[in-house]
Structure 1
Amino acid sequence: TPGRERAQDNQIDDHPEIAAALEQKLKAKADTWATPGLPEEVVGADRRFFDMHVDSRLPPPPMEDGKTCAFIGWDDTRPQTKPDAPAAVWHAATQPGSGVDEARMQGWFVRQGRAEPTTDGIRVVSNRPHVRTFFGRAFAQRLAAPLTVELDARAAESTTLSLMWLGASGRQESDFAIEPKAELRLAGEMNWTTVRATVEAAEPIAILRVLLEGHGEVPVELRRIRLIKPDGSAHEYNFDG
């Protein structure tokens, strides 16, 4: 919507299934390009655009005589307008929340919370009270069920993680399932523990979510996730960097 491009207007956290579906469409389109696949990193010009126009974390660039900033190219190496104008050389603002890069996340995302890097994994922390914090992933190649979900995880206090999933025919939030119940229980200790549960889905799985207990009062650390299909093959995601 014109005029509603600011970060505070972003509703992606409220509609993760739409975001995941759009992401998969974009990836499918990218695979048809002459150089297939999406870029592995955001170019500087795009980072600066969002920092200034969307997130308002940077001031506008310096203006040259007779020109507005819209006519100044996004170039880190362009000459400074004045010899002592420090704002003429741009640097991307520090990203808020998660300090875990996309490559390390391997397609996994956190909603109603954030991911923080640790020395040997990631920590999922709630940052929005009164809502469910979860981490999840969408799968362009649907996962056959029953699917065994195995985590190497730990938490400072005992807590229970719940699994939620969207079947291949699902199209909206109300299509997510939590039955038959599948839970992963962590004892309150800081030793790594391997826990597993089986998702008895009625159809192949398009999106998998792992929900923190309550409103995410107990942060959870992850070192590895394995998704084991009925034929014994597995998708493995290691977060130890």
Structure 2
Amino acid sequence: MNTSAITGTIPTRAGTVSAPGELTADRVTKSLLGYGVLAGPVYVAVSSAQAVLREGFDPARHAWSQLALGEFGWVQVANFVLSGAMVIAFAVGLRRALRSGPAALWAPVLIGVFGLSMVVAGIFPVDAGGGFPAGVPAPAAMSAGALVHLASGAVGFPCLAAGLWVLARRLGREGFTRLAAASRITGAFFLASFAGMASGALGGAGIPVFTAGAVSALGLLAVLAVHRYRQMPDTNG
């Protein structure tokens, strides 16, 4: 008798072997999921390294977005674009892996929108401010590019939080209750940290708290990518 039918849980494909007709497709899916393992750690590592090495950058006062400015700003631009592209690839892999049922459509779509927002944020950097880059004054009025950057975050960040919440429902139905709880909590923390920073409610702690929220959300994406990869069938052929 099928245990999943008794418990009401959704079975995954873990512990199975890809059928010959699905072998290539499953290998592609697993490759796409692998980008989700890389996206968050790459973005955090590159941003953290620049935060230490860039002259005049203060993590307590300057957001990682500002690293896209100045002589070496191209590094952070590339970091945004490549990391965002990897998140989009992961979202495509997630859609292929989930196939049908709860979260199969909306979790990948929402996470994919977040990935796209990272790409847009990289193409349109923020304005100088808070003394960074050193010697560059803040403009009297916000530039059009900075407005696009902020708008991309205003769309992408809630989408990521919503994607985690939608995916949590699927994880709970599959029986992964701890991971489902982590997705709900992390999504809430990330969205609250963004709202607190954007509204000024957190005061001087806004940027550090938001950075912590972003790191936790991106870290969880990597964990979810590994988890979903492990729910795929064996494709060794």
> Does TM, normalized by the shorter one, top 0.5?
no
Give the TM-score normalised by the residue count of structure 2.
0.23
Write 1 or 2 for the structure with the bigger share of strand: 1
TM-score normalised to structure 1 length: 0.23
State which structure, 1 or 2, has the greater radius of gyration over its C-alpha atoms.
1
Larger helix share, 1 or 2: 2
